[in-house]
Amino acid sequence: MVEKEELLAALPHRGRMLLLNKIREYNTKVMSVEAEYCITEDCLFYDSAAQGVPAWVGFEFIAQAISALTGIRDIENGVQPKIGFILGVSQVRIELPFFRTGAILTIKANQIETMDSLYVFMGEIIFGDKKVIDGKITVMEVDSETAQAMRKGRDAIE
């Protein structure tokens, strides 16, 4: 188990953007992870009118679980964790509109494909005993220098 404070070494997210409370279990050999998050009003995506977080945000929860997993893998291999970007989400199924305040979510992801710095994972979110979200998520890792160059390029376009 990896608690919240230890997650900070593996993830670039901080403050309200940190959307994981802990990693329950992980396996860096087969690249699978199970994480947990409790919906609170402090969540960056919290909608006070709906008293919850839109369910589509679940793919950011899954992406952060993947980021934590790859960060843990990198730390185990003695390298600096890389920054990841969501490239696409497909085969999406969402069973509810919002995650209500106090909901404790189980977030799972399993790598199904990889090519260089691109990874494809099947992800799911379980609330109670029901799978409420699942889909395929494609992510890309870049080193911090590449991320900085991407940021400069974005700033130049604006």
pLDDT in the model for residue 27: 97
Q: Work out how many domains the chain is built from and give that number.
A: 1
Strand partners, 23: 2, 35
HEC readout, 44-72: CCCECCCCEEEHHHHHHHHHHHHHHHHHH
pLDDT in the model for residue 155: 55
Please tell me the distance from the alpha carbon of residue 22 to that of residue 34, in angstroms, as a whole number: 9
Q: Write out the two tokens for 66.
A: 């993947």
CATH code, domain carrying 105: 3.10.129.10
Please tell me the distance from the alpha carbon of residue 41 to that of residue 27, in angstroms, as a whole number: 31
Residues in the chain: 158
pLDDT tens, residue order, the chain (158 aa): 887 777 777 887 777 778 899 999 999 999 999 999 999 999 999 999 999 999 999 999 999 999 999 999 999 999 988 888 999 999 999 999 999 999 999 999 999 999 998 999 999 999 999 999 999 999 999 876 666 665 566 555 44
% helix, strand, coil for the chain, step of 5: 30, 45, 25
Domain that holds residue 91: 2-157
**Residue 96, class by beta-carbon neighbours within 10 Å (0-12 exposed, 13-18 middle, 19+ buried)?**
middle
